[in-house]
Structure 1
Amino acid sequence: MTNYIVGVTGGIGCGKTTLMQCFADLGIQAVDADIVARQVVMPGTPCLQAIQQQFGSDILLQNGELDRAALRQRVFSHSADKAWLEQLLHPAIRQALLQQLAQLTSPYALLVAPLLLENGLNTYVNRVLVIDLPEPLQLQRAMARDNASEQQIRAIMAAQISRQDRLAAADDIVHNDTSIAALQTQVARLHTFYLQQAGLTP
């Protein structure tokens, strides 16, 4: 089991997946909260059954999987539904994250979560690493990646913690506004530091 956990976060489009790959190339394992969030609502899970009971079968796709777009639309405009869904999913996601982290074996591990700070997941990590971009570039990259409108991306950004607050909560910051090579250089430096930190843990 890995004893030293680095929490990774950043706004939409900042490059968390690319950052995770840079660490993976160095042999560091990660748990991705976005993937776990999808796993806890797979067909046959208690969470999906509860969602179906609450919102009806039209919240499912024909193959029995959750229609995430329909659910997002439903809860975005109904605060009571959103609160109900969060109460159901957050504990389930948290439990699954911790179980998966406990199975990792690299010298230290990453917990990657867009809402690391908002959902209090930073209480489970030793350090917080923020990947950062100037907001105009963040907007541009997220729109291109998700093929989404500026309005949609701005709404997601508004729902996340502000860039200023995120940076204030960071122990370490990686700047992703130039090249992959520049990102890899920053990661290599942090990797050495994290290995030292992990070596100091009993």
Structure 2
Amino acid sequence: MIIGLTGGIGSGKSTVARAFESLGASWVDADIVAREIVAPGEPALSAIIDYFGSDVANQDGTLDRAALRSLIFEDSSKREWLESLTHPIIRERLVAHLTSLSHDSPYVLLVSPLLFESGQNMLVARTIVVDVPTDVQLSRTLARDGVSPKQVRAILAAQMSREERLANADDVIDNSGDYDFMMRQVERLDSIYRTR
């Protein structure tokens, strides 16, 4: 069984995924796959540089993610172009990873910030939303990523709203408390998923 795990920026998706992993579940991170497909030598990287210009490339030929982020969150048409290029490639790689892991795990998590927006929820049997208040998302992201409050707000505005994510969720993990609080919720869901 494949379970989709999503949440807004700064909600703690990776922390929750590692908690499930500690109980024996495998997981695939769509963000890692998204980085793989824009590595040097990948066709997607060449297309991105052709479209946005050399300012989005570092001197070593890697993608300057910060430069690209600032461009796409200032102009929704540029973000839409990037998503139309990358989402199908990401989906294809995710399917391959999920298929390879499903033989060795009681269930597999697909961890994706854009699970619903990208249609990746069609690949899963159930969905978990990792939920925190918006002010917690803002403070965690500022502390972690070193970006400006304006950039974080632009990212939050571009993502599905908290209310929409919760309305689409089969299960919710409240990650606004401490680790033990989160882990109890993970253990409860793990027990349920193992019986399905």
| TM-score of the superposed pair, with normalisation by structure 1 | 0.90
Q: Which residues of 2 match residues 61-100 of structure 1 at below 5 A?
A: 61-100=58-97
Query: Secondary structure in 2 aligned to 1:110?
Result: strand
Residue deviations 1:5-54 (CA, integer Å, cap 9, x gap): 00000111111011011011111110101100000010111111222333
Q: Is 1:133 equivalent to 2:135 in the alignment?
A: no
Q: Is 1:119 equivalent to 2:118 in the alignment?
A: yes
1:149 Cα deviation after fit: 3.1
The aligned counterpart of 2:158 is 159
Residue deviations 1:61-98 (CA, integer Å, cap 9, x gap): 11111111222233333444333222111100111111
The aligned counterpart of 2:179 is 180
The aligned counterpart of 1:6 is 3
Correspondence for 1:30 among 27, 32, 42: 27
Matched positions, count: 194
Amino acid corresponding to residue 88 of structure 1 in structure 2: L
Call closer, same or farther: CA 1:55–1:180 in 2, change over 3 Å: same
Amino acid corresponding to residue 187 of structure 1 in structure 2: V
**In structure 2, what is the Cα distance between the partners aligned to 1:13 and 1:80?**
25
**In structure 1, what is the Cα distance between the partners aligned to 2:79 and 2:132?**
29
Q: Is 1:20 equivalent to 2:12 in the alignment?
A: no
**In structure 1, what is the Cα distance between the partners aligned to 2:24 and 2:168?**
26
**In structure 2, what is the Cα distance between the partners aligned to 1:76 and 1:135?**
18
Q: Which moved more, 1:137-146 or 1:172-181?
A: 137-146
The aligned counterpart of 1:200 is none
Gaps of 5+ in 2: none
**In structure 2, what is the Cα distance between the partners aligned to 1:149 and 1:85?**
22
Query: Secondary structure in 1 aligned to 2:195?
Result: helix
Residue deviations 1:87-124 (CA, integer Å, cap 9, x gap): 11110011111111111021100000011111111111
Max Rg structure: 1
**In structure 1, what is the Cα distance between the partners aligned to 2:149 and 2:49?**
32
**Moved segments of 4+, more than 6 Å:** none
**In structure 2, what is the Cα distance between the partners aligned to 1:20 and 1:6?**
11
Identity %: 51
Gaps of 5+ in 1: 198-202
Q: Which moved more, 1:130-139 or 1:184-193?
A: 130-139
Amino acid corresponding to residue 100 of structure 1 in structure 2: H
Cα RMSD for the two superposed structures: 1.5
Q: Is 1:103 equivalent to 2:100 in the alignment?
A: yes
Call closer, same or farther: CA 1:83–1:138 in 2, change over 3 Å: closer
Query: Secondary structure in 2 aligned to 1:19?
Result: helix
